[in-house]
Amino acid sequence: MSQLIKSIYRFIVPESMRYKILEARKNRHVENQKKEILDYYKKAKITPEIKEVLDYLDKNPLHVFPYEFQKQYSPENVKVQSDSSGLKYVMHEGKKLFFKRSWAEGRVRDSFSFLQCEQHPGSPHKYLTDSFGVNDNSIIVDAGAAEGIFALPFIEKIKHLYLIETDTEWIEALQATFEPWKEKVTIVNRFVSNKNDDRHVSLDYYFKGKPAPDFLKIDVDGAETELLEGAKEILTQAGKLKIALCTYHRQQDEQLFGDLLRKNNFSVSTSNGYMLFYFGENFNEPYLRRGLIRAEK
């Protein structure tokens, strides 16, 4: 569409109608993706876990978490409040969890509702379980911290928390959320990677001369490979280490990361169930992806 036609379109079509048109196009695309998934699995060998997903999709719209539990979480039930500066937050397990200043109340509600869904006990994206948790006095690295919901519930019992987040808009929110525990929290506004410069930092470089972490939570929007390449010394350390590592960004990540961690003497398991990361890059056959790996040594 040429710039002239775009200008005429914006002039003639009201913004509210343009939004509805875009939503309709998006919904048609999503429905087409759902059909592709169901058609693919008609020809594939399926397990009971996969059948559960297909049964859900057969009766419901496409969703990142294709399970009934996600229906429990509605943005309408999220209460958003503001501090004296206007920074918005929600209460999470008795603590204030702040969000980006630029976000409207509706976006905060949507985001928190989705975060709750992510960490539901039945979610394939749930980082921790009853048997895989954070120990007292641990040193935690939250790589891809975003709003910081992962560490907030157990912040009192750990020794130190490193929040690594590249999005500068999240820094103010993280500072506000963890202000009551700021003496044990370090916020690192960098890309966590396999190189070191003004914008990037590797875990091996950052922790050289510091006490090694006991727990790594890694959710870095597809940059997990680079992070692991920059953490070779940490992965081979003799001490105990737990890792919650997201594998849903790319189709091959579960296999590649699992092999790497096993070579470094970790016991490895995957989360239960599958995710449909249909708005990510390279969403292709076989479509279903494990949410994360839990590794321990």
Give the global pTM: 0.88
pLDDT tens per residue across span 241-283:
999 999 999 999 999 999 999 999 999 999 999 999 987 667 8
pLDDT tens per residue across span 24-75:
445 556 788 899 999 999 999 899 999 999 999 999 999 999 999 999 999 9
Three-class SS state of 135:
coil
How much is the pLDDT for 30? Answer: 74
For the chain, strand residue ranges (E) read: 81-82, 88-92, 95-98, 139-143, 160-164, 185-188, 191-192, 200-201, 215-218, 242-246, 267-270, 292-296
Distances (CA, A) of 128 to 64, 119, 176, 203, 260: 19, 8, 24, 22, 21
Q: In the chain, what are the domain boundaries? A: 3-59, 127-274+282-296
pLDDT at 211 over 80: yes
Nearest Cα neighbor of 99 from 64, 75, 126 is 75
Q: How many CB atoms lie within 10 A of CB 257?
A: 23
CATH number of the 127-274+282-296 domain:
3.40.50.150
* Residue 204 CB burial class (10 angstroms; 0-12, 13-18, ≥19): middle
How far, in Å, CA of 90 to CA of 98, rounded? 7
Residue with tokens 């914006």: 10
pLDDT tens per residue across span 71-95:
999 999 999 999 999 999 999 999 9
pLDDT tens per residue across span 122-132:
999 999 999 99
